[in-house]
Structure 1
Amino acid sequence: MAKNQDIQFISSSIKLPSSASHHNPFDLSNQPFFSLTSNLNKTFESFNNFISSITNNHDKNQNFTPNNNESSFLSTSSLLDAAQLVKLNIKPLSFNFPFSNWFGKKEDQKEIHFQGLVCEGANSLPSNFFEDAIRFRYGKIIDTQSLNELRQSVNGWYKDNGLFGGVLYLEVLSNGIINIKVLESEVNNIDLRFFDRLTGEPTAGKTKPETIFRQLDTKKGDVYSLFKAQRDVKTVYDMGIMEDVSLIPKPGNAGKLDLTMNLVEGVNTGFHPDVGFAINGLSSGLIGSVEYFNKNLFGKNQKLNVSWKGSGKHDSNFGINYVDPCIDDMRTSRAIAVQKLRTPMIDRVLAGLEFSRRLRQKWRVASGLIYHRVGATGNDTRDDMLLAKVESEYSDSRGNSKILFRMEQGLPIVPGWLCFNRVNVDARKDVEVGPARLHLRLSGGHVVGNFSPHEAFAIGGTNSVRGYEEGAVGSGPSCLVASGEVLLPLFKGVKGTVFADYGSNLGSGSVVPGDGGAASGYGHGVGIVWDSPLGPLRLECALNDRGERKIHLGGGLRD
């Protein structure tokens, strides 16, 4: 038994008589519930009825006859074990019920002064909670108002912390000690149910149960937390393999809750051949692409993507990417990538291994090794490098703000391999302005050491300064790029954009052979973004500070 001055928390108990009516602390209509499921209101009503049934059954099982002129006071299970009760010779007081008539007629009232408090079942309450609640109550008369305030204080703590719990019974003993019985609803079982995305009928899911369970913070035996439940629903949805996720609590045995997570799996495999037209300087013309993806490999949420994209004989990109999002109990992810990239300027081969882990809800870190073999297209000379990478990313819970820090270090483990250090910082902020969204971005970087010209920062292009070809503004070991963009919904799935970009090599271009030295430029324009089934597609028309126009056509979000 834990003891804290005049406050006692105990687990063993004996039963004392109770009244025929009790306050139901689980009035779920007053709780700040999240919209986890469309059926949640029915669940809350069912849970209320369940709690009431516990109370009614408890009352029916009591063989107690109140005094002729009085009904018993709202008593519940005593918070003292049998030995303590005999030793202290404490008896429960009888009061008229309900609260408005507790003390009967004025001439019959008996003043009881507060001397202490005993609580049972409040395992989640912090130890100093009751100390703060009753600090100024010692010696004062116990009345309806003080008991109501105490009950509301306890219930308020559970409500504010999103926990299923509250005062089930109150009892005043003859020596001025208040007994409180708190009920905390623990999670009993967690079940998974899969539904067909087209028919809505129950079906056998392809995702293994352990893949889902390892994502949940809610565990069997925990006090049910609405805040945890909301996070669990979001975490499972963010796996990227579910179209719909809902979590439904239902009353179980002995005051516990059974949870059912309803899941609708999305389209997680596909094969996409494509033919299109690109407007991108030397790469202009017909393009072709083939892609195979599986977002739920082996039912373990592992991702596999194999793709090829080509345009002309000097522009092709072949890649294999594999991600296992959870390789241990700490939810560490592992990514393996192989790429063969050929552009009119660069011929590059890389293979990499990266491990990533989310240390906190908003903070992710990653580290890895990447091998590069790169050179100029049409030139037999190649540079080899092995890069050790560390990365740290902080983002807010809504994804409206993000800052990314990345550092790469070349490891010259073989004579002739490049040795340099490169640092990048990228900060982004989204601001809602009525129906529009303002997107701000500031990025910069610096590289020092023995690096080849193609490892310098290239400024200009779709992902830096629009209105220019890739790298047409200039390059250098240092760079700074800023952009602002307003996105306004036009109609369903389509947004209009107005943007402006600026980039500079901060006067460092003279370090790179063939570069003209200091270089900067800006561009502005308009465009549209279509949220297609394959991801966002962007079509933008930009005008740079040299009066040149450029059409940018791309997919996905800007890097």
Structure 2
Amino acid sequence: MVLARLMGWELRRASMLEKAVFFYLFVCLTAKIDVNVDFTHKLCASLMFPTLRSSGSPLSLIIGSLCIKHPNLFGGSEKLDLSWDKGLYDSNILVAYRRPRPEWLAQQSFVIQHSLSPEIGIHGIPVENFSRSGSAGVNLSRFAVGLELNEPPSSKWSSTTSIKFEHVRPVNDDGRSINRDYEGFPLTCSGNSNDSMVVLKQESRYAKANDHSFLQFNLQIEQGIPVISKWLIFNRFKFAASKGIKLGPAFLLTSLTGGSIVGDMAPYQAFAIGGLGSVRGYGEGAVGSGRSCLVANSELTLPLNKMLEAAIFLDCGTDLGSGHLVPGNPSLRQGKPGYGIGLGYGLRFKSQCGHLQVDYAINAFQQRTLYFGLSNLAS
């Protein structure tokens, strides 16, 4: 009310539009606003994806993220989080509303999310001996709305349960709906321009650490619920385990990731293998895309001084012969091998301003790839 008087407004006489504007200004002025730019994924994306799209508007060149947090929306400690992340070709908008609950009860969040991203991992075309993946003009527009429950964490375990309605729509680079790829194969499970589903998801996490080692394990299980007969029915699971141990001044990190899906399946649900965070030396998804996958990574780092580390690594991955089980068999049509190995070395520079990572990788086809990454930037 004070804000309205200062601005010369009388809310009782204001129109609906003026009230909406006032409410928006009130939220913004009383919220904690944090603006930051995430370079890591965006820089790697700009280096790995060929520029096949026209820039069009100057806004298309903006990359970064905006986060607005309101700690007390209605005066009862209700929390409202709004975040927007935008990359060169992708974007993600997330709205989360949380009501206060006792710590011994599961924390509830009502979530609305919309994302747009290129399907490089599944439909991208491998080039330069599989070291890069070019765009095939297929993008995914996803809309999801639902409820998340975060269980109170124990000493080592934590878990999250969610149930969401999801609407997935393939679009081309111009934003128009499409239901087939450039070779005429369906992009959705239904064969129409979109897929709908209700997904029940359970995620469990385990973490244990001491001065000499750590162990982490993550398990995700998704179940498609047939609320309507036309909606997708499937079971999809994915696990990730990692172990780190000190070997004198050096540090050895090993990880194993895998997953599988049974039941109804659209091509975009396949597991993409290859790229940064998977098998280095290959483009995103250039190793393969299948109903199942298994990826192993190992990396040994040795400190050179207080801020600089040297690293050697070995990555390998396979679709376990399941590429032909993906509808349309995009992996075979694009000539992906289905398995791959990458090895190389790199440098890790850590400072108060952020972390710089440089990796030089060689794949099984003797193709060399250089990766750059910036993370943990100081705001």
Q: Check if 1:308 corresponds to 2:85.
A: yes
1:446 deviates by 0.8
Aligned to 1:472: 286
Q: What fraction of aligned residue pairs are identical, expressed as a percent?
A: 30
What do residues 203-250 of structure 1 show as CA deviations (whole Å, max 9, x unaligned)?
Answer: xxxxxxxxxxxxxxxxxxxxxxxxxxxxxxxxxxxxxxxxxxxxxxxx
Partner of 1:234: none
Q: In the alignment, does 2:49 pair up with 1:281? A: yes
1:292 to 53, 66, 71: 66
User: CA deviation digits over 1:160-205, x for unaligned, max 9?
Assistant: xxxxxxxxxxxxxxxxxxxxxxxxxxxxxxxxxxxxxxxxxxxxxx
Q: How does 1:142-161 map to 2 (within 5 A)?
A: none
Q: CA deviation at 1:492?
A: 4.2
The answer to whether the 8 A contact 1:541-1:549 is kept is yes
SS at match of 1:406: strand
The residue type equivalent to 1:442 in the other structure is L
Note the C-alpha offset of 1:326: 6.6
Alignment coverage as a number of residue pairs: 287
CA distance in 1, matches of 2:99, 2:244: 27
Q: Displacement, 1:520? A: 0.3
Which among 155, 160, 168 is matched to residue 366 of structure 1? Answer: 160
Measured at CA, do residues 325 and 362 of structure 1 come closer, stay the same or move farther in structure 2, by a change above 3 Å?
Answer: farther
Q: How far 1:482 moved relative to its partner?
A: 0.3
Judge conservation of contact 1:506–1:518 (CA < 8 Å) in 2.
Answer: no
Counterparts in 2 of 1:181-260, with a 5 A limit?
none
Q: What are the residue-to-residue correspondences of 1:90-109 with 2, within 5 Å? A: none
Cα gap change, 1:518 to 1:273, in 2 (>3 Å): closer
For residues 6-43 of structure 1, the C-alpha deviation after alignment (integer angstroms, 9 at most, x for no partner) is xxxxxxxxxxxxxxxxxxxxxxxxxxxxxxxxxxxxxx
Question: Equivalent of 1:391, from 181, 203, 224?
Answer: 203
Matching residue's letter, 2:293: C
What one-letter code is carried by the residue in structure 2 that aligns with 1:271?
V
SS at match of 1:426: strand
Per the alignment, residue 274 of structure 2 pairs with: 460
Secondary structure of residue in 1 paired with 2:50: helix
Q: In structure 1, what residue type is equivalent to 2:154?
A: R
| CA-to-aligned-CA distance 1:337-383 (integer Å, 9 cap, x gap) | 51312214331313253212245200112110233333444225222
User: What amino acid does structure 2 have at the position aligned with 1:293?
Assistant: C
Give the secondary structure class of the aligned counterpart of 1:393: strand
Partner secondary structure for residue 515 of structure 1: helix
CA RMSD of aligned residues (A): 3.3
Shift of 1:495: 3.4
Residue 350 of structure 1 contacts residue 370 of structure 1 at CA under 8 Å; is this kept in 2?
no
Closer/same/farther in 2, CA of residues 274 and 447 from structure 1, 3 Å limit: closer
Query: Is 1:423 aligned with 2:237?
Result: yes
- 1:542 and 2:361 correspond: yes
One-letter code aligned to 1:320: L
Task: Give the one of 344, 347, 356 matched to 2:140.
Answer: 347
Query: Shift in Å at residue 327 of structure 1?
Result: 3.1
What are the Cα deviations for residues 252-281 of structure 1, in whole angstroms up to 9, with x where unaligned?
xxxxxxxxxxxxxxxx85323578752013
- The structural deviation recorded for 1:549 is 1.9
Under a length normalisation based on structure 2, what TM-score does the superposition of the two structures give? 0.66
User: Structure 1 residues 518, 389: CA separation in 2 closer, same or farther (over 3 Å shift)?
Assistant: same
- Classify 1:499/1:372 alpha carbon distance in 2 versus 1 (closer, same or farther; 3 Å): farther
Alpha-carbon offset, residue 456 of structure 1? 1.0
Change (3 A) 1:394 1:467: same
Alpha carbons 1:346, 1:374 under 8 Å: kept = no
> Structure 2: which 5+ residue stretches go unaligned?
1-31, 54-59, 119-134, 173-177, 180-192
Q: Structure 2 matches for 1:509-524, cutoff 5 A?
A: 509-512=323-326, 513=328, 514-516=330-332, 519-524=338-343
- More relative contact order, 1 or 2 (CA 8 Å, 6+ apart): 2
Alpha-carbon contact 1:326-1:332 (below 8 Å) kept: no
C-alpha offsets along residues 517-551 of structure 1, whole Å, 9 cap, x if unaligned?
87100111223334466764533221111112223
Deviates more, 1:490-499 or 1:539-548: 490-499
Change (3 A) 1:481 1:368: same
C-alpha deviation, 1:439, in angstroms: 0.9
**Structure 1, unaligned stretches of length 5 or more?**
1-267
Name the residue aligned to 1:552. Answer: 371
Distance (Å, rounded) in 2 between the aligned partners of 1:493 and 1:327: 43
- Rounded to whole Å, the distance in 2 between the matches of 1:371 and 1:412 is 11
The residue that corresponds to 1:435 in the other structure is 249
Match of 1:332 among 82, 106, 114: 106
One-letter amino acid of the counterpart of residue 473, structure 1: V
Q: Which has the larger radius of gyration?
A: 1
Q: Determine which of 34, 43, 46 is the counterpart of 1:270.
A: 34
TM-score, with length taken from structure 1: 0.46
Q: 1:465 to 1:318 in 2, by over 3 A?
A: same
Once the two structures are TM-superposed, the CA of residue 469 in structure 1 deviates from its matched residue by 1.1
Whether the 8 Å contact between 1:361 and 1:397 is mirrored in structure 2 is no
Amino acid at match of 1:429: K
Secondary structure of 1:409's aligned partner: strand
Q: Distance in 2 between matches of 1:468 and 1:444?
A: 18
Q: 1:307 to 1:437 in 2, by over 3 A?
A: farther
What's the offset of the Cα at 1:443?
A: 1.1
Check 1:453–1:555 CA distance in 2 against 1; reply closer, same or farther (3 A cut).
farther
* 1:405 is the counterpart of 2:219: yes
Q: For 1:301 and 1:523, locate their aligned partners in 2 and report how far apart those are by CA, in whole Å.
A: 48
SS at match of 1:396: strand
> Matches of 1:531 and 1:331 in 2, distance apart?
39
CA contact (8 A) 2:281 2:343 kept: yes
Query: Alignment partner of 1:510: what SS?
Result: helix
SS at match of 2:268: helix
Task: Tell me which amino acid in the other structure corresponds to 2:203.
Answer: E
